[in-house]
């Protein structure tokens, strides 16, 4: 019997952004100066402890795109791709076909997913527990690491290996 592919997913919340209501459209809120500085420090620490990914997937919102650029500059990955499903309100079930296609050509890989709360922690909980709740909460620039088997088997059969608040990386 062949082993199913294993993919490490790093769910990374965007850094500290401008307050809600300060921009006409929520998707336009950028990282603050403090958010950029803290995210840069965290990105460098992730790389320092050996966290490297094959690809960064990012929400299209400005703050997530800025976080992704910081991660790329720190060399967490060489490239990134914008995925609309990582915008607020995206559903894990809608993303799993993308993961299945990725795993078909990258059976043992690491992906970083940069997005928003509560979606990222809910996706991670759904993968590990088979359902989502509010057990975990990602702080800004925090990281959850989950190892997933084949995408078709991932929900409820994945394994948590990392749950790090940003203060531990600063």
Q: Is the model's pLDDT at 45 over the cut of 70? A: yes
Report pTM: 0.94
pLDDT, tens digit, 9 for 90 and up, residues 136-159? 889 999 999 999 999 999 999 999
Write down all domains in the chain, each with its CATH number in brackets.
6-168 (3.40.50.1240)
Between 48 and 22, the higher pLDDT residue? 48
Residue with tokens 């976080």: 67
- For residues 51-70, give the mean pLDDT: 98
């Amino acid at each position: 019997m062949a082993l199913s592919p294993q993919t490490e997913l790093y769910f990374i919340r965007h850094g500290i952004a401008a307050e809600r209501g300060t921009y006409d459209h929520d998707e336009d809120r950028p990282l603050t100066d403090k958010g950029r500085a803290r995210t840069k420090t965290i990105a460098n620490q992730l790389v320092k402890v050996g966290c490297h990914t094959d690809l960064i997937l990012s929400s299209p919102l400005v703050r997530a795109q800025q976080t992704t650029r910081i991660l790329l500059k720190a060399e967490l990955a060489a490239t990134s791709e914008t995925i609309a499903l990582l915008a607020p309100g995206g559903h894990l079930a809608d993303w799993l076909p993308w993961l299945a296609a990725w795993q078909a050509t990258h059976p043992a890989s690491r992906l970083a997913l940069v997005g928003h709360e509560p979606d990222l922690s809910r996706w991670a909980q759904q993968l590990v527990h088979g359902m989502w709740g509010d057990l975990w909460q990602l702080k800004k620039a925090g990281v959850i690491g989950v190892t997933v088997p084949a995408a078709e088997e991932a929900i409820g059969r994945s394994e948590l290996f990392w749950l790090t608040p940003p203060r531990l990386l600063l």
